[in-house]
Amino acid sequence: EAGVAQSPRYKIIEKRQSVAFWCNPISGHATLYWYQQILGQGPKLLIQFQNNGVVDDSQLPKDRFSAERLKGVDSTLKIQPAKLEDSAVYLCASSLARRNEQFFGPGTRLTVL
């Protein structure tokens, strides 16, 4: 079974630029999560989807971050405009349902200069 796919693996941008990350969850997984992991910290949930609906986005900085999950499969996370403090690894995870184990992708390392 294929795992959670993410791209790109690395991205370097200037502050105030825009960036987008892509995630393809495990086939059949209804729940999809985006986490932000700042260096030296544990991952922090940004947004959680159940199929194509948002379950929880309470920790998403909505003035600059947006996410969508069209057709309940792939998802994109966008930052516009980026700030220096957005430098982090962005992890995508998926699970069959909210009560099930989460499987993580390899993450995207974002550096904002």
Segment interacting with another protein (CB under 8 A) among 17-25, 62-70, 75-83, 94-102:
94-102
Total residues at interface with another protein (CB under 8 A): 23
Q: Are 75 and 93 in contact (CB under 8 A)?
A: no
Token readout for 22 is 């892509």
Q: What angle do CA 73, 75, 78 make, to 5 degrees?
A: 170
Burial of 21 per CB tally in 10 Å (0-12, 13-18, 19+): buried
Measured from the CB atom, is 83 or 98 closer to another protein? 98
Smallest distance, another protein to C-beta of residue 18, A: 23
Residue 89 in contact with another protein, rule: CB under 8 A: yes
Q: Quote the CA–CA distance of 99 and 76 in Å, as a whole number.
A: 23
Residue 104 in contact with another protein, rule: CB under 8 A: yes
Residue 34's beta-bridge partner residues? 47, 92
Under rule CB under 8 A, which residues in 22-81 are in contact with another protein?
33, 40-45, 48, 55-56, 58
Instruction: List interacting residues with another protein (CB under 8 A).
Output: 33, 40-45, 48, 55-56, 58, 89, 91, 93, 98-99, 101-102, 104-107, 109
